[in-house]
Structure 1
């Protein structure tokens, strides 16, 4: 394997693995805080058991995320030293603040896990809320750093030198808000549907129904709200990409020719050689409207961009199609669930609705992975958009392929360990927090 491809592949595997734990760290503590708050308000022991069960899962995933995040930070320096040499002083602030947020999250999680019956009840709840807020802050700060790579600002690039550095402007670059909003809602939707799907499965299996139904109500509602808001954030992101990164938008839609009334392409097989999309469904004027808010306005095609600056069209297009397809399916499920809550209460006890949530369990995370492929692959061949090419930033050190194999083995091993620990935790939940057990109160 070529060292450049190996370096990119290693970062792809690392980011793909870590993003799952980042989403969990941004969202699960809020589910935990909601359950804990209801327990404090009502004294219902089911919510106390649920909070404890979720907190143990958060601890497992937090530890794994800390390992993968640390590995990522080393990889940035080892695999992309030229990038870090020049970019580090510019966008280092969000990474430094993310480290601070991480330590706050770790300390607060420790207080929460060991604070039961030791801390004042409301102070204990606040420590759990801090876990969620610091986890959310960590995610947003990392996204701000990534947004800077898509929309570099806070410096002047003169004769190959980076001058007049402004870290604040770099952190709050033109892309940070749209990316942070989109990522936050994606995290809530993905994690919410994953967790509610697992609890729905347990309800269908008739195991600890009271416990799992309680968990399902909290997570399903949060997931559905996020899923219905996600298309709005997607529209904001699309308009932002159309303005700043026309090549990425063109690759997302396999849009080869600049034209007004540009159609939105659904599906299809892009052919970069012939500059066509075969077997696609085209919705007239929709791309122009989504990109510019005006169906008459032209959308820049790849024909206006030098071939050497094209992103990989096929990968970007397929990833984008997968992301929006899954996003729309989850939004449809969210709409059905909200109808059930408001007008069709009998649906809530139906097995078909629970089965839909079980089917949706992995969809959110698959959409998140596809979205990051669009973000990262769609930016190529640039590591800093319009300033530094990815090929110019890679380390000259040989043997990167072996590093890729080693890191991949580590991530596969971590995945197996996490699955084992979470499976064991799920089995313990039934024994410790079964609301039908006479000993439940003592647990």
Structure 2
């Protein structure tokens, strides 16, 4: 493995782990706050038990997210010094603000975890809300920095120099809103389905049914509501990408030839050499509609883009299909769930619907990982779109492959530890929180 591929692989590995912790850290505090609110309003101890159990999970993911996020920050400077030299002064503001949000989140979480029976009950609840709001703000600010890489703005690029820097314009670049919206909803979908799936599995096993039923209801509602909304944000994102990054859209859809009334491809295996897609289902005109809101509009293909600027089509296409497929499956489950709430409440206690959620436990995070693959791989060969190539930003330091192997071992160990801690916590729920 050469140093360039090793640097990219290490960054991908770090981001792949961190994004899971980040999503849970952004969303779980809101679940926790809802359960806490129900306890304050109803006085039912089961909601207090749910709140305490979830707060322990929040603490675990906050700690691991802090570690993995710190590693990512160092990696930006160590692996990509060419990038940070030029980009740091431009998009440093969202990172600085993210640090502030992180410290607020840490302080609020400390208040919440140790504030039981010490604070006014509503102030204690409010500290939990602050954990969620600050965590959400932290995630949005990081996404704003990533969006700048896809839509660089806030400076003039003249003869290789970055002049007239405007950090506000850089932070609120053309891509930040659609990326932040899509990522925020994705975090609610992924976390909602993962948490609901775990509790559905425990209900199926007949363990602590009251506790897990209340937990399942809160998580499933959030996850399903977000799953219904996600295609709308996806449509906004697709139209935005079609305008700003036509090469990325072409790679996502393996769209090799520029044409009007372009077909939307479902599945298929791209044949990059012969510029075609085999075994695909084609929906005539739907790509034009997805990209431009008109079934007859022209969609730019890879034939209009220099070959040296083509993203890796195979990876981008398969990741996009995986993201969309997972999202559609969760949306279907969400429709069934809300129909059950509306017309068939007896379905909610049926084993088959619980099995659906249990099976769907990993789907949200599969979609998140695939979506980030589309975002990052689809931007290649640029680290700053149309400004700086990724190969020009990598460190000249040799031996990055050994660093990649070391970090792989560290992250695998961290994953095993987190899984063990969560497993132990779930087992403890039966002993501590199974109260009426």
* Range of TM-score over shorter length: over 0.9
Alignment of 1:30-429 (within 5 A): 30-429=30-429
Q: CA deviation at 1:272?
A: 1.0
CA RMSD of aligned residues (A): 0.4
Q: CA deviation at 1:361?
A: 0.1
Q: Is the partner of 1:262 in helix, strand or coil? A: coil
Q: Is the partner of 1:406 in helix, strand or coil? A: helix
Distance 1:18 1:374 in 2: 17
Q: Deviations over 1:80-135 (max 9, x none)?
A: 00100000000000000001000100000000000000000000001000000000
Distance 2:424 2:119 in 1: 28
Q: CA deviation at 1:321?
A: 0.3
**TM score, norm. by length of structure 1:** 0.98
Q: Deviations over 1:399-443 (max 9, x none)?
A: 00000011111100100100011111111111000025xxxxxxx
Q: Alignment length, in residue pairs?
A: 436
Where structure 1 has 5 or more consecutive residues not aligned to the other structure, the ranges are: 437-443
Q: CA deviation at 1:37?
A: 0.5
Q: Is the partner of 1:267 in helix, strand or coil? A: strand
Distance 2:77 2:284 in 1: 46
Distance 1:339 1:58 in 2: 31
Which runs of 4 or more aligned residues in structure 1 lie more than 3 Å from their structure 2 counterparts after TM superposition? none
Q: Is the partner of 2:260 in helix, strand or coil? A: coil
Distance 2:195 2:20 in 1: 13
Distance 1:411 1:102 in 2: 22
Q: Is the partner of 1:371 in helix, strand or coil? A: helix
Distance 2:355 2:426 in 1: 19
Distance 2:278 2:427 in 1: 49
Q: CA deviation at 1:147?
A: 0.3
Distance 2:257 2:424 in 1: 54
Distance 1:427 1:266 in 2: 42
